[in-house]
Structure formats: structure tokens, C-alpha cells
Structure 1
Amino acid sequence: MTSEILILNREAVALAADSAATLTGEKIFSSANKIFRLRKDLPVGLMIYSRADFLGIPWETVIGLYRKKDNGAVSPNLEDYGNRFIEFLSTIVTPEIETNYIQCQIGSVLGDIYHEIAYTLEYIERSYPLDDEDRRKIVGETIDRHYNLWDLDSIKMPQIDEEEIQYLSDNYSDFIDDTINRTYNDLPTYTDSQEKLKAIAISILTKFPKCFLHPGASGLVIAGFGDAQIYPSFCSHLIVGYLNGKLICIPQQTDGIDQQKLSGIIPFAQQEMVCTFMEGIDPAYLNALTQFHHNMFMGFPKIVYDHVKQRLLEEKIVPDIDPKIEGEILERLHEVGQEEYEAAERYFEQYRYLNHSSRVMGVVSHLPKDELAAMAETLINLTSFKKKVTMDAQTVGGPIDVAIISKKDGFVWIKRKHYFDRELNPHYFEK
């Protein structure tokens, strides 16, 4: 994961991004460029998050190709620029690029499962030996867990239909079988394990996980001003892949400043620290509290009722309670619990808004451009520092790039890293 943020008010939009990005698998690089001018003459920027490549092609290369192909047309709305860029992506995909992408995705997911199994077996065998049946059970359980993840906890991508699934079956079944046989030839497996691995290989190309970002997905954020727009806006998309001549693109957010909405802070990829800053509470802690409150409000009335009923029967205050009446009482108690739970959640939500987020957003709406940029950079720094001083993987890091886009000044760099010495390359800046 990486960390990127977009902050808007009526005057400008600030983009800030760290330099960490995933490229070709799980490798994290900490020198990636993730903020770009879409075109030299436009007040429009493009920011990427998660992966640093499109089907194996670096995004820097893709954007350079787009600038050469763009016809220079001016659009009244920012979304038009985003749609035009998305349409361009399909034009650069050759059959070779598509084949390589599909094979890499299949090889990556099957390889990751194999390495997880191998690590688990090695770790356990440090303590005691395993026979073939033990090993087969561990292999089967691991494959089942991944199969359930992609089968039950994933949804079909919107552009995918039976034609794409048949296309994979017709053209890549042999490749999938060969990859499984070559990768898992030293592991004991159950008879249905190979079929489940084949299903996983198909799913990574046709489904989107519910609980985490697709490992092949790359996020795009287009931000700035359309020619007819007074205030800034943005749109974002997830580029998941390419299959059977179709670009798999999932629209995410489209929003902007208007007469009612005066500011916005939108984090991408790793959002915990930004949400903590805005809401005054860590999102994971908030989820735990919400779940606790739900269980308490929904379960406590029944506990009280059971105690009261037991005491009434023990003291012989009532001989018995009619089952029909008891059912009505429990139903009403359940309704009361639900009502009180919802009231409590509304109270806490309002408290967070009044005492935290609204106070920040009120100031953001009036920040000058330099302060807007400083705030965006600081929020990225917070996320990076949290990763640095905890046991979490260092998935946020490297220099932070910051840009400001305004209607008057266009796209302006506030901070920008270079992979070369400025003094040795004056011709670059003369451009």
C-alpha cells in the first residue's frame, strides 16, 4: 500500500504523494513518481496510487505516450479529461501485452499461495516432523482458504461476462495446468486442489475482492479544472486489468467544490492516519467500538429479561409466562435495542463531526495555496512516520511530491524529487 492525498477548496486543489509504489508483483520501490501534469497547457493533474505500472508498462511511460497522442482539445468538465485518458489506455494494449499480463497475474497468485504453503510447512517442521497426510492437510487448508476468499468474498468485475470466462478457459487452460503442475509438483495435494487452484487463477482476472484492494489494481486520480469550471473537482478510477480486448476499469469517486461544499480532504490507499486526524479516532478502533455497541444494545435487553424472568419464577410471583407474550416482549426489546443503538451511533457521529472534522474543514476552506500544500504534505508525513515507528511494513516512504493546481496559475510544483543532479542537467529545466 502507499499514501496519497487530495485537498480541495474554492481556490485550488493540492496533490501530495509519497514515493512508495508496487511494481511487478509485491516489490515495493521508494522512488516512484506518482504526480504528473496531464498536459502542459491545462490546470489538470494526474495522481496514481498502489501499483506503479499499467499491465507492466510504467505509468510515466503511459502518460508520456498520452501527451504525444492527445489532440489538444479543451473540455468544459474535468471528467472529460479523465474519460479521454481512460479511453487512450485501451489503444496502447497489444495482444502481446495482454498475454503477458494474464500470464503474470496467474503466475503471481499461484506462486504466492505456493510460497505461503512452503513457509508454513518449514515453520512447523522446525518443531516436529510432518508425515505426508499432515502435509497434505496443510496444503489443502491453505488452498481452501484462498479459494473461499476468491469464491465467496469477491464479486465479479462489472465488465466481465461469460464470454471473458470462456475466453480464459479456451486460451489459458493449458497454461494454468502447466503452471500448477510445475509449481506444486513437490507438494502432496488432495484431488480437488488442482481444480480450486484453477478457479483461483480465473478469479484473479475476473473478480474483485470485497475486503482488500485487488493485487493487480492501480488507482488513477484526475484533479483540477475543466475549462468551464470555476471551482476544482476530481474523479478517480481503479484500473484492474485487461481481458479479451476489454479494459477493466472501475469508477470510484467523482466530487468537487460548489456553492455548498467549500472544501474536501480525500485520502487514497492507506487512509488510517488521515481518518484519525479528521475524526479524532483510529478507524479500526472505531469499528471495534461500533461492533461492541451493536452487540451490547442488541444483547443486553435479552440478558435483563432472562434475569427478571428467572427471579419472577423463583419467587413464584408468576406461575409461568405465556410463550406468545414472551415472544412479543422479546420482539419489542429487540426493537428498543436497535433504536437505542442507532441513536447512540448518531450521537457519536455528530460528536465527531462537530468537534473534529467540521473544525478542520472550516479552516481548509479558507487556506491559501501554500498552506493547502503544507497540509497535504504533513498528512502524508504523519502516515509515513506511523509506519516508521511501528512494527507495520514500511509501505509508505521516500520523498514526498506536492503540487498545487489553480485556475489562475495552472499546475505548479511545490516539491518534486529528481533522480538526477539539477546542476548537471540544466537543459532539462530549460525545457
Structure 2
Amino acid sequence: MTSELLTMNKGAVALAADSAVTINGKKVRNGVEKLFKLSNDLPMGMMIFGNANFDNIPMETLIKQYSKNADFKSLENIENIQEDFLKYLGRVTPPFDFKKSIGNTIGEYADELKEKFSNISEEEFNKFIDEIEIDDSLDFVKSLPEFGLIDSLIEDILPNFVLDNEKDDLIIVLKMNFFMKMLSSSTGVVIAGFNEEDLFPSFVSFDLIVNNSGDIEIKSFKSEINYPFGVIVPFAQTDVIDTFLTGSSILLKNVLSYYFFHFINNYTDLIIESIKSTDIDESSKKECINQINGIKSFHSDTTSNFIEFFNNWEDIIMGPILSAINTLPKQELADLAY
């Protein structure tokens, strides 16, 4: 697992990374270089996380070759460097072979669906479909000629109770789910430093998905340009850094939110059951139950407010840390990142 960090204030940028790396989503090894100096002329660096290879070429090799040949002075700023780097990757890496990759992986996915859908009830099937979260950054696959290759295969797997007018939409959802699984092993990139034309530092971060016929598809884009304040941004495995900064882990926040949501749901249900067992007249019972059911409609808003409270609380906790970072000299900023 990789843990990385960017810290910066108006006078300096510090990047920190461990040495563990994942190869093609499976193999992990240590001692890998993840931090790279891009230019001697401009103070700019690059950091990688996730898959250490892109299109089966080591990112270390790609970045060093890019750094050797790029004209950073003419590029002037971080956004231009990002665009130039993506164009470079589009030229030097081979386009992704979607047809071959589909052929290699669709069998496993089809078997997974067959097992899932065998003897599945309509309610369970609808719940399964509703829980599939589609990554909008992969919308480009819908325009690929290969996107239609597995339509008939998935249609044959659908349960018998699926109506004909529902099939097309369901096939698209299941195909998008397949492509998400097939393209899940992304490579994260952070570019940070001082621009020729700005007073303060900048950074951009993004995940490389695939070389789509010379165009590099990316997702999870973040940036702070010409940023005059203190900032700490964790990448990859962020839970330990988040706990250090906010005083609580994301796991704790998720568990508390989950139990809070279920508590308010169950509490109103218990009240309704209690009212049903009382001796009051039926019309009064019905009125009370209708009133309580009306309250239940606000539960999602209540949960959202509870989560918003957590986020505001984290901002309060982090405030003094970020204020301190804003005044740290270079060496102390580097020590903090370490």
C-alpha cells in the first residue's frame, strides 16, 4: 500500500512518499522511486502512486525520459506541463488494446454474473443494480467500437423476469461495471512546484486510466494554482494522514454515520409499533402514524447534517495546523512531511 503527501505554503513545496509499489494491481515490492525532479531551471517535481506501470512501461522510465526532453521554460506553468506530459504519454505509449483485454477478462465477469443471478429474486436483482456506482470519467468507453461486443453475452445472462423494455438500460449498466473492473488499475500522478509566471506554488494531481488511441484518459483531477496558503494533501492510502490531521479516522466517521442513520430510522419504527399496540381509537392511531411517517422523510437530511457537522469539526481541528504550515520555512516543511 502506498502513502504519499504534498505540503506547501506560499514559500515552499514538500513531497513525501514511502517506497512500496503495486505492479499491475497485484504484486507489491519496496525500494521503488516515486519522487522525481523535473527541471533544474524551474523548481518542479513529480510524484506517482498506484500502479507503477502505465501501458506496461515503468512510470520511472517515462518520467525520466520526459524530464530529459521537455522544455519547461517555454511551458511556463503547471497546467501546461500537465497537458504536455499527457501528450507525451499519448505519443510514446501504445494504445490500449480494448478488444484483446475484453477477450481476456469477459469470461471471468460473465461467470461472476451467472453465479450472482442464479436463483436471484427480483428484489435482490434490483438492489444489486442500484448499488452499482458508475464512474463518470469512463463515459468515453461508450463511444468505443468495442463497447457493443458483449451485448448479447450479457443479455443471455439476465434473469428471466427482466422485461424487454428494461434490457437495454440494464445491459449498459452491467457493461459500464465491466469496463470499470477492467480499467481499475490506474496510475496516480502529482505535479507540483513554482511556475515562471506565478508568485506562489501550484499543484495538479490526476489518475492515468488508459491510452485511448493516443488520447490519455484521466480521472480524479485536483489542483491548487498560485496558492498563497498552507495546505496538506494526502494521496493513495490516506487514512493514517487523515487521522493525524483531523483527530478521527474516516472509518470512525463512516461507522458513526451508519449507526446514526439506522438509529433514527429504527427509533421512529419503534414509536409506530408502540402506537399500534395502544388502546387509543383507530383514527387517532392513524393520524399519529402519518405524522411520524412524515418525520421519517427528513431522515436523509438529518444524516446529511450530521455528516456536515463532522466535516466542519474537521476544519476546526485542522485550522491551527494549516495556519502553522503557512509560516513554516522550507526545512521545517520538509521535516513535517517526513
Q: Work out whether the TM-score is over 0.5.
A: yes
Query: Counterparts in 2 of 1:182-331, with a 5 A limit?
Result: 192=157, 207-208=179-180, 215-256=184-225, 258=227, 262-308=229-275, 310-311=277-278, 313=279, 318-322=280-284, 325-326=287-288, 328-331=290-293
Q: Which of 285, 310, 334 lines up with 2:296 in the alignment?
A: 334
Local SS of the residue matching 1:152: coil
Preserved CA contact (<8 Å) 1:8 1:257: no
Alignment of 1:129-148 (within 5 A): 140-141=114-115
Structure 2 segments unaligned to the other structure (5+ residues): 121-127, 151-155, 159-171
Query: In structure 2, do the counterparts of structure 1 residues 102 and 74 end up closer, same or farther at CA, with 3 Å as the change threshold?
Result: farther
Indicate the residue corresponding to 2:168 in structure 1.
none
Query: Which residue identity does 2:314 align to in structure 1?
Result: R
Residue 155 of structure 1 corresponds to which residue in structure 2?
A: 135
Helix, strand or coil at the partner of 2:140: coil
Aligned-pair CA distance for 1:305 = 4.3
Q: Secondary structure at the match of 1:42?
A: coil
Q: Deviating runs (4+, > 6 A) in structure 1? A: 110-114, 142-145, 199-202
5+ long unaligned stretches in structure 1 = 118-137, 174-190, 194-198, 378-431
Secondary structure class of the residue paired with 1:357: helix
Deviation track 1:141-181 (CA, whole Å, cap 9, x = no partner) reads: 37989xx79x93443644624441x24767xx9xxxxxxxx
Cα distance change, pair 25–332 in 1 and its aligned pair in 2 (3 A): closer
Secondary structure in 1 aligned to 2:243? helix
In the aligned structure 2, how far is the partner of 1:7 from the partner of 1:52? 22
Check 1:154–1:319 CA distance in 2 against 1; reply closer, same or farther (3 A cut): closer
Q: Contact conserved, 2:42 with 2:73, CA < 8 A, in 1?
A: no
In structure 2, relative to structure 1, the CA distance for the partners of 1:21 and 1:298 (3 Å cut) is same
Following the alignment from structure 1 to structure 2, what is the Cα–Cα distance between the partners of residues 265 and 112? 41
Please state if 1:352 is matched with 2:294: no
In the TM superposition, residue 22 of structure 1 has moved relative to its aligned partner by 1.6
The number of residue pairs the alignment matches comes to 314
**Structure 1 residues 65-74 or 318-327, which shifts more?**
318-327
8 Å contact kept, 2:47–2:189: yes
Residues 325-404 of structure 1: matches in 2 within 5 Å?
325-326=287-288, 328-334=290-296, 337=299, 341-354=303-316, 356-377=317-338
1:247 counterpart SS class: strand
Q: 1:42 to 1:295 in 2, by over 3 A?
A: same
Q: Which moved more, 1:283-292 or 1:22-31?
A: 22-31
Q: Over aligned residues, Cα RMSD in angstroms? A: 3.9
Q: Does 1:56 align with 2:30?
A: no
Q: Deviations over 1:100-159 (max 9, x none)?
A: x8746864x579889xx9xxxxxxxxxxxxxxxxxxxx99537989xx79x934436446
Task: Provide the secondary structure at the position in 2 that maps to 1:242.
Answer: strand
Kindly indicate whether structure 1 or structure 2 has the higher relative contact order, using CA contacts under 8 Å at least 6 residues apart: 1
TM-score (norm. length: structure 1): 0.62
What letter corresponds to residue 334 of structure 2 in structure 1? A
Distance 1:72 1:22, change over 3 A: same
Per-residue CA distance 1:245-294 (angstroms, 9 max, x = gap): 432222511124645xx211111110010111112111112101011112
Contact 2:206 2:218 survives alignment (8 Å): yes
Q: 1:143 to 1:76 in 2, by over 3 A?
A: farther
* Alpha carbons of structure 1 residues 257 and 73: separation in structure 2 relative to 1, 3 Å: closer
Instruction: Give the Å deviation of 1:297.
Output: 2.5
Secondary structure, counterpart of 1:38 in structure 2: strand
- TM-aligned CA deviation for residue 36 of structure 1: 0.7
